[in-house]
Amino acid sequence: MNPFPTARRLRSVLGVTAAAGLLVTGLVTTASASEAARSADSTTRTADSIRGAGSATAIPGSYVVVLAGNQSVAQTRATTQSLATSYGVKVRRQFSSAIKGFSTAMSEEQAKKVAADTRVAFVQQNQKVTASQDDPPWGLDRADQRDLPLDKKFEPSATADNVTVYVIDTGIYAEHKDFGGRASVGTDTVGDGQNGVDCMGHGSHVAGTIAGTTFGLAKGAKIVAVRVLDCNGSGSTESVVAGIDWVTKNAKKPAVANMSLGGGADAALDAAVKASIDSGITYAVAAGNDNSDACGASPADQPDAITVGATDDKDAKATFSNFGKCVDVFGPGVDVESVGITAPDATAKMSGTSMATPHVTGGIALYLSEHPDAKPADVATALVAAATPDKVGNPGTDSPNKLLFVGKVDPARR
């Protein structure tokens, strides 16, 4: 998946594996009669083709195994270790919150055998994921008024100082002045020693649009970096799912998560996002920058998330923005100015659905600040209902013609 900018075409390639960053320890079980029975039964199951195998973004020899059933943490660990022992694989990461399962390296033959085991729901081949990117900043100015021309003002209804925002991205440059000490590192699943610090600029730019003092919509929200993409903006199913798993387990609510990244269809990633939403965290995700149907990308195809397309300063769909029935709303995404990472007062301009998504996330934070007990489905309904209709030029086949609006809502328009 990519953070979705096109102006500078920052395509980050994330290999996605579905997993939360817990290493498996001990709990080795010996083969029992019941296991033998399961093994025998597995020979009668059809080894479905591995999900995501053969795709252009598939990572060779790398898989995420999603377990069947609703297992406890202890059961998940035991089943994981048993499967690893049975099929001769090494557990790389264990997931126990967003999904139940683990990531591992194995051959295609091993993967098919694991997929046929009755203890396994499915096996997803790890996929590359990338970040999307190609007076007030114009996007903020546009978000709080119904019509053009822009009035050079941004008047938010709240500061969202009771809301926590989780930026699942390339990390954050927390020392930037625009964050005012409200940014911190939650976790880093990349494992390259950066410890959550942004070395690309994408995540910091996104965070600035969400909650920067100058560039953000929700100017008082707490910002937590969940670094899942490397210095090139690339990651994997594994690193992204591990980040989602951490958020699901540790989120301080009311909370919203921003995912300005994506890739090809990925069942493990979609399952992790859905489970996290089911836990009470609202997700805004980028539609993608390929000028194609957003339903062909993950997590843009996740129906419980709020999927965001991009518009330019004339309210036309950005030429790069994905479209279609999986899109919920459009937001400003071309030449967006926000936080840079070269100095504490640096700025940068980027374009992409990666830039449109944080506008929506900021709007969600503002809504949650006044409705802290709202469930994700209620947040999505309210945000789409408040959006301005029939403003997006050429929104694309099957797209909703809805443009983000965070200003005062006229009761007559509800």
Closest CA to 118 of 34, 49, 196, 190: 34
- Decide: 314 and 308 in contact? Cβ < 8 Å: no
Q: For residue 303, what are its two tokens?
A: 């129906």
Position of tokens 């980028």?
A: 286
d(CA 45, CA 41): 7
Longest dimension (CA), the chain: 73
Selecting among 96, 134, 202, 298, the annotated active-site residue is: 202
Position of tokens 């560039």?
A: 215
d(CA 75, CA 90): 18
Selecting among 141, 144, 169, 293, the annotated active-site residue is: 169
CB within 8 Å of 332: residues ≥ 6 apart: 138, 139, 142, 143, 310, 311, 312, 313, 355, 356, 359, 404
d(CA 64, CA 105): 9
- Decide: 39 and 113 in contact? Cβ < 8 Å: no
3-state class of 248 per DSSP? Answer: helix
- Decide: 374 and 298 in contact? Cβ < 8 Å: no
Selecting among 234, 321, 354, 369, the annotated active-site residue is: 354
202 among known catalytic residues: yes
Q: Strand 164-169 relative to strand 255-259: parallel, antiparallel, unpaired?
A: parallel
Element (DSSP H or E) covering residue 169: strand 164-169
d(CA 280, CA 272): 13
Q: Which residues are catalytic?
A: 169, 202, 354
